[in-house]
């Protein structure tokens, strides 16, 4: 079992012991089960790209689509082989799918291209009015398709994702995903799940069966109207192998006038892996950084600096030519990233308004505050400044937090150390007051910031329930917070 695990980074032995058409629990909310959808929904092509996928997971994906979709709504399934090196994925696969009761086409990339260009190929040869992308290790559950297509029929500029349930990489047990999480990202541009905020619950008047507007999509599973996919510029074909494309299309959809939603009545399972089984020709970091730089440069305006400052060395990675993507943004008259942060993702880790982004330096000792690899509950460190950003960058935000990513400087313990704790947005122990009057005083615990041009000094004070106390424990004096 352990040996086989390495092949695909999931329990292949377990997968092989499970039927290709196994039954699954119906994990939908009660209110979803009796919803009615129009008869004349648009038909979809299902596009599944794969590189060296296991036979059982790939075919279980295909069977679950065929078995749990009304065939009147299923135009075809398109399998795109991204230059796999397994014999069974060649002729044997073609012979197998020929017998299935829904048209299944297999197309091959001439060379390893990555999931982005493989999906583009699949989309280009498919014919359904809607394109539904799935990973090659998914399982669709009862009623998954109708609510996706119905939402697109209502509004062709809405791009929809199912709730992604978890298929255990260890046991292949099927576990319902939550309808209370949605997609976001952090300063490193890693996709993350976060709780659906209250404003979104309120907008839906508490009805959890209504779609959730999500700032980003996880990437692997979504449906989109074919013409709308073209209109908004499909994918960035300059991105390689894996990564970044999900945030890129998410930003693009929102900034260019579309809508991105999680349709909570649609559930599809996915095997989440802890490691990637395949190679990244050219280097994993290089490729992901390149893709992320492309999306940062085209879509994030000045907020790209949050990504650049926390990822030392990333600006050295070549991101190729982006002129066609910036031209696309121009042509579609897309809104700025600040609009997205304000209106779509106000709870983002990247603050829409901030005074400063940079290091916090003691000019006398040349030491810097260090977030200790952003480990939660860790005392903030003081080390020699390395000037590389990374663990030594903080942002002083308009909410008066001093934060790195999702962690904030926090003084919950009276006279205890300053720690990095999850930002809680409640001000209190995480509220740092700016006090220009103390400018220039030295024996007090102060740090200063460069606020565009001029340096101004800040006192580190701690405000709890409107009582302001000067913080005088952990910091050395004369910190400078300067933009790197």
**Site residues, Mn ion (CB under 5 A):** 135
Question: Toward Mn ion, which CB reaches closer, 167 or 357?
Answer: 167
Question: In whole angstroms, how close is the CB of 183 to ligand UDP at the nearest point?
Answer: 13
Q: Rg of the chain over CA atoms, in angstroms?
A: 25
Taking CB under 6 A as the rule, does residue 21 contact ligand UDP? no
Are 16 and 175 spatial neighbours (Cβ–Cβ below 8 Å)?
A: no
269 belongs to the binding site for ligand UDP (CB under 6 A): no
User: How many other C-beta atoms lie within 10 A of the C-beta of residue 341?
Assistant: 20
Site string for ligand UDP, 66-85 (x = CB under 6 A): ----------------x---
- Is there a contact between 306 and 404 (Cβ–Cβ < 8 Å)? no
Identify which of residues 75 and 240 has a Cβ nearer to Mn ion in the complex.
240
**Tokens encoding 192:** 């993350």
Q: Which helix (H) or strand (E) holds 451?
A: strand 446-451
In angstroms, what is the minimal distance from the CB of 314 to Mn ion? 24
Q: Minimum distance from CB of 282 to ligand UDP (Å)? A: 11
Q: Which of ligand UDP, Mn ion, none lies near 384, with the C-beta cut-off 5 to 8 A by kind?
A: none
292 to 321, contacts with ligand UDP by CB under 6 A?
A: none
Smallest gap from residue 33 Cβ to Mn ion (A): 28
Helix axes 91-98, 55-68, angle to 10 degrees: 20
172: region left, alpha or beta (phi > 0 left; psi from -120 to 50 alpha) = left
Measured CA angle at 222 (ends 217, 227), to 5 deg: 110
SS3 316: helix
Q: Which is nearer to ligand UDP, 46 or 460 (CB)?
A: 46
| Residues binding ligand UDP: number (CB under 6 A) | 16
Q: Is residue 407 at the binding interface for ligand UDP, with CB under 6 A as the rule?
A: no
Q: Which of 118, 120, 260, 438 contacts ligand UDP by CB under 6 A?
A: 118
Q: Tokens 């009057």 map to which residue?
A: 437
Cα-based distances in Å from 52 to 84, 92, 162, 411, 461? 5, 14, 25, 50, 56
Residue ranges in 132-151 that form contacts with ligand UDP under rule CB under 6 A: 135-136
Nearer to ligand UDP, 156 or 270 (CB): 270
Report the residue number whose CB is nearest to Mn ion. 135
Residue 242 within binding range of ligand UDP, rule CB under 6 A: yes
Q: Taking a C-beta distance cutoff of 8 angstroms, is the pair 434, 466 a contact?
A: no
**Calculated CA dihedral for residues 286, 192, 347, 163, nearest 10 degrees:** 130
Q: Which does 66 bind (CB under 5 to 8 A by kind): Mn ion, ligand UDP, none?
A: none
Ordered alpha helix ranges (H), 300-336: 304-310, 323-331
For residues 328 and 256, what is the distance between their CA atoms, to the nearest angstrom?
Answer: 10
- Contact call for residues 355 and 398 (beta carbons, < 8 A): yes
Nearer CB in complex with Mn ion: 75/135: 135
Query: Cβ 425 to ligand UDP, closest distance in Å?
Result: 29
Q: Does 241 bind ligand UDP (CB under 6 A)?
A: yes
Q: Which stretch binds ligand UDP (CB under 6 A): 87-95, 273-281, 324-332, 345-353?
A: 273-281
- Residue 93's φ and ψ, nearest 5 degrees, are -65, -45
Residue 278 Cβ vs ligand UDP, minimum distance, rounded to whole Å: 6
123 vs 419 by CB, closer to Mn ion: 123
Binding at 425: pick from Mn ion, ligand UDP, none (beta carbon under 5-8 Å per type): none
**Shortest distance (Å) from residue 94 CB to ligand UDP:** 17
Q: 136 is in the binding site of which of ligand UDP, Mn ion, none (Cβ under 5 to 8 A by kind)? A: ligand UDP
If one asks whether residue 232 binds ligand UDP (CB under 6 A), the answer comes out as: no
Angle, vertex CA 291, rays to CA 392 and CA 187, nearest 5: 30
Check binding of 49 to ligand UDP (CB under 6 A). Answer: yes
Q: Are 322 and 315 in contact (CB under 8 A)?
A: no
What is the maximum alpha-carbon separation in the chain?
A: 81
Cα–Cα distance measured from residue 72 to residue 45, given in angstroms and rounded to the nearest whole number: 12
49 binds, among ligand UDP, Mn ion, none (CB under 5 to 8 A by kind): ligand UDP
Residue 138 or 360: the one with the smaller Cβ distance to Mn ion is: 138
Nearer to Mn ion, 135 or 245 (CB): 135
Residues in the chain: 484
- For the bound state, the minimum distance from the C-beta of residue 332 to ligand UDP, rounded and expressed in Å, comes to 27
Rounded distance, CA 464 to CA 347, Å?
Answer: 22
Distance CA 370, CA 391 (A): 6
Dist. CA 477–CA 484, nearest whole Å: 20
Selection from Mn ion, ligand UDP, none that 244 binds (CB < 5 to 8 A by kind) is none
Query: Residue 54 CB, nearest distance to ligand UDP (Å)?
Result: 10
The DSSP call for residue 458 is E
Q: Please give the residue ranges that form the binding site for ligand UDP (CB under 6 A).
A: 49-51, 53, 82, 114-115, 118, 135-136, 220, 241-242, 273, 276, 278
């Amino acid at each position: 079992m352990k040996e086989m695990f390495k092949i695909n980074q999931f329990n292949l032995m377990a997968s092989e012991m499970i039927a290709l058409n196994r039954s699954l629990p119906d994990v939908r909310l009660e209110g979803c089960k009796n919803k009615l959808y129009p008869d004349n929904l648009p038909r979809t092509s299902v596009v599944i790209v794969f590189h060296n996928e296991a036979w059982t997971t790939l075919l279980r994906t295909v069977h679950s689509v065929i078995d749990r979709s009304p065939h009147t709504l299923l135009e075809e399934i398109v399998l795109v082989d991204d230059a796999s090196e397994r014999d069974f994925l060649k002729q044997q696969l073609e012979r197998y799918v020929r017998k299935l009761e829904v048209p299944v086409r297999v197309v091959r990339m001439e060379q390893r291209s990555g999931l982005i260009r493989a999906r583009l190929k699949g989309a280009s040869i498919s014919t359904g009015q809607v394109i539904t992308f799935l990973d090659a290790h998914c399982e669709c559950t009862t009623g998954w398709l109708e609510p996706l297509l119905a939402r697109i029929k209502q509004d062709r500029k809405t791009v929809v994702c199912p709730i992604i349930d978890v298929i255990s990489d260890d046991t292949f047990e099927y576990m319902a995903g939550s309808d209370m999480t949605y997609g976001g990202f952090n300063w490193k541009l890693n996709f993350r799940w976060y709780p659906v905020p209250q404003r979104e619950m309120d907008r839906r008047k508490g009805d959890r069966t209504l779609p959730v507007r999500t700032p980003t999509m996880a990437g692997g599973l979504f449906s989109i109207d074919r013409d709308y996919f073209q209109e908004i510029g499909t994918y960035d074909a300059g991105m390689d192998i894996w990564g970044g494309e999900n945030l890129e299309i998410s930003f693009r959809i929102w900034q260019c006038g579309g809508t991105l939603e999680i349709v909570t009545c649609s559930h599809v399972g996915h095997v989440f892996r802890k490691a990637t089984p395949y190679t990244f020709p050219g280097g994993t970091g290089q490729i992901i950084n390149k893709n992320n730089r492309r999306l940062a440069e085209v879509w994030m305006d000045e907020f790209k600096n949050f990504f650049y400052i926390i990822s030392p060395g990333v600006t050295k990675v070549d991101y190729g030519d982006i002129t066609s993507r910036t031209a696309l943004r121009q042509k579609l008259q897309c809104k700025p990233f600040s609009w997205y942060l304000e209106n779509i993702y106000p709870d983002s880790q990247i603050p829409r308004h901030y005074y400063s982004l940079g290091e916090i330096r003691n000019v006398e000792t040349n030491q810097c505050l260090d977030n200790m690899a952003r480990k939660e509950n860790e005392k903030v460190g003081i080390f020699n400044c390395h000037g590389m950003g990374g663990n030594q960058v903080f942002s002083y935000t308009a909410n008066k937090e001093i934060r790195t990513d999702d962690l904030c400087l926090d003084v919950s313990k009276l006279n205890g150390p300053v720690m990095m704790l999850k930002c809680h947005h409640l001000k209190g122990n995480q509220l740092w007051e700016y006090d220009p009057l103390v400018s220039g005083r030295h024996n007090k615990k102060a740090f200063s910031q460069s606020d565009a041009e001029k340096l101004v000094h800040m006192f580190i004070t701690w405000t709890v329930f409107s009582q302001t106390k000067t913080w005088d424990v952990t910091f050395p004096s004369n910190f400078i917070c300067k933009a790197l």
